[in-house]
């Protein structure tokens, strides 16, 4: 039996699929600037709210006021109705491993929801949309529930208000000031979607096999967790903490280069002249903390940016300002990447629906670099 030969009989390939077009999408484009379904990211980030953007990504157009309100109600209702079986299981895990990373709790939690809700097929478009909206509410509620359970508290109810306001209230334990809820919402809008990034591609790959929504999202969360992707926003604060003061920045950055370590929060596979989202949020972050103790961290961040630009022509990505915003809002570092999950749920689920709607299994080829053909020797003959 012979396999179809590798068409290129290839000796060349794009490591990390850099520059490879792996499919089509109508959800987001990065040409010139980032656009969600044709809308420039800047007005969406300045004036849109997360529900509006999530609706746009999932349904293809901006909602009317009525559609917006109804969508928000459906998402909030889902946040208030986590299945008891999933919560019970989470409570046991929290009692056994209270120090587990919230990212692991989310990945496990979504997988448990799939089991509890008996999700085993992709369903039709309508069913997938219902599921996507439900998960949009359940995932932030899972995160908040985990934090309560891991701290040994009873699970608090999901507050009223927009998803951004409610989640920020759940994460800090107090109703947020309006400007804080607004910038937090902006981070969710900016994190919502980004075309064929690693986690979205993971979700689409799982969807392409005919698997179910919860399996796609579980895979996506696992991919997002890595420090080269979503995990970078947690590492950014470690970087700033490790440098300490602006006068140490130059030496610290060059130590990283000498050790061939990447500086978290800088560089991007697609944006080579800077990440539009980082520019937008960086400015907002500086404005938010101006005149407070947060100024010192902004000065340090500024210094690192200038050093990275001069030394390597590298500019910040979204994780660089997002970590500083979350820190300024008083959030613990271990929820930074889970917040990214909450936001990216909108993009992931939209991509799963798009993949299911026009599917062919994702199955690329590889170039074999292993041992030459050799004969099998039975175990007994190998001594």
State the residue for tokens 């570092």.
Answer: 333
Q: Is 144 in contact with 109 (CB distance < 8 Å)?
A: no
- Catalytic-role residue among 49, 119, 212, 319: 319
d(CA 190, CA 18): 23
Q: Of 24-32, 258-266, 290-298, 362-370, which segment contacts ligand ACO by CB under 6 A?
A: 258-266
Taking CB under 6 A as the rule, which mask of x and - marks residues 260-279 in contact with ligand ACO? --xxxxxxxx----------
Identify residues 314-343 at the interface with ligand ACO (CB under 6 A).
314, 317-319
Secondary structure class of 40 (helix, strand, coil): strand
Minimum gap (Å) between residue 249 Cβ and ligand ACO: 14
- Catalytic-role residue among 194, 214, 268, 351: 268
d(CA 217, CA 222): 9
Does residue 229 belong to the site contacting ligand ACO (CB under 6 A)?
Answer: yes
Identify residues 189-228 at the interface with ligand ACO (CB under 6 A).
228
DSSP 117: T
Q: Which is nearer to ligand ACO, 72 or 338 (CB)?
A: 338
d(CA 246, CA 242): 11
Minimum gap (Å) between residue 223 Cβ and ligand ACO: 10
Does residue 74 belong to the site contacting ligand ACO (CB under 6 A)?
Answer: no
Q: Which is nearer to ligand ACO, 67 or 302 (CB)?
A: 302
For ligand ACO (CB under 6 A), the number of binding residues is 18
Contacts of residue 171, defined as CB under 8 A and 6 or more positions apart, other chains included, come to: 143, 144, 147, 331, 335, 339
* Torsion, Cα of 105, 111, 114, 119 (10° steps): 160
Minimum gap (Å) between residue 13 Cβ and ligand ACO: 14
d(CA 297, CA 314): 20
Rg (CA), the chain: 22
Q: Which is nearer to ligand ACO, 54 or 112 (CB)?
A: 54
Q: Which is nearer to ligand ACO, 225 or 229 (CB)?
A: 229
Give the largest Cα separation in the chain, rounded: 77
> What Å distances lie between residue 57 and 38, 61, 202, 315, CA to CA?
10, 7, 18, 27
Q: Which is nearer to ligand ACO, 16 or 157 (CB)?
A: 16
Return the residue nearest ligand ACO (CB atom). 267
Q: How many CB atoms lie within 10 A of CB 191?
A: 25
- Is 229 among the catalytic positions? yes
| DSSP H or E segment with residue 308 | helix 295-312
- Is 268 among the catalytic positions? yes
Identify residues 11-50 at the interface with ligand ACO (CB under 6 A).
16
Minimum gap (Å) between residue 299 Cβ and ligand ACO: 20
d(CA 317, CA 290): 21
Minimum gap (Å) between residue 233 Cβ and ligand ACO: 7
Q: Which amino acids are annotated catalytic?
A: 229, 268, 319
| Chain residues in the site for ligand ACO (CB under 6 A) | 16, 228-230, 232, 262-269, 312, 314, 317-319
């Amino acid at each position: 039996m012979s396999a179809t030969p590798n068409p290129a009989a290839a000796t060349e390939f794009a490591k990390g699929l850099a520059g490879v077009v792996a499919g089509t999408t109508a959800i987001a484009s990065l040409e010139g600037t980032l656009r969600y379904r044709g809308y420039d990211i800047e007005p969406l980030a300045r004036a849109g709210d997360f529900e509006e953007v999530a609706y746009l990504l999932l349904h293809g157009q901006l909602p009317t006021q009525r559609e917006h309100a109804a969508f928000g109600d459906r998402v909030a209702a889902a946040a208030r109705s986590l299945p008891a079986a999933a919560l019970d299981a989470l409570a046991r895990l929290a009692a056994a491993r209270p120090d587990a990373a919230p990212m692991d709790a989310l990945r496990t939690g979504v997988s448990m929801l799939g089991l509890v809700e008996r999700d085993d097929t992709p369903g039709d478009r309508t069913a997938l949309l219902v599921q996507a909206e439900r998960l949009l509410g359940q995932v932030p509620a899972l995160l908040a529930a985990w934090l309560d359970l891991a701290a040994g508290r009873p699970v608090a109810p999901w507050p009223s208000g927009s998803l951004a306001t409610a989640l920020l209230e759940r994460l800090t334990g107090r109703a947020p000031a309006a400007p804080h809820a607004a910038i937090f919402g902006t981070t969710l809008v900016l994190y919502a979607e980004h075309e064929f990034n690693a986690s979205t591609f993971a979700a689409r790959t799982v969807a392409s096999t005919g698997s179910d929504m919860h399996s796609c999202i579980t895979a996506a969360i696992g991919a997002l967790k890595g420090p080269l992707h979503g995990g970078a926003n947690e590492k950014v604060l470690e970087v700033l903490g490790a440098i300490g003061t602006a006068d140490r920045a130059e030496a610290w950055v060059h130590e990283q280069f000498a050790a061939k370590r990447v500086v978290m929060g800088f560089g991007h596979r697609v944006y080579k002249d800077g990440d539009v989202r980082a520019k937008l949020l960086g400015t907002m972050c500086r404005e938010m903390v101006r005149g407070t103790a947060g100024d010192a961290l902004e000065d340090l961040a500024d210094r690192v940016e200038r050093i990275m630009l001069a030394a390597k022509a590298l500019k910040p990505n979204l994780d660089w300002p997002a970590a500083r915003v979350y820190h300024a809002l008083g959030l613990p570092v271990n929820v930074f990447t889970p917040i990214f999950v909450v936001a990216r749920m909108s993009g992931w689920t939209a991509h799963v629906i798009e993949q299911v709607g026009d599917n062919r299994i994702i199955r690329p080829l590889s170039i074999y670099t292993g041992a030459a053909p050799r004969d099998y020797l039975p175990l007994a003959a190998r001594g």
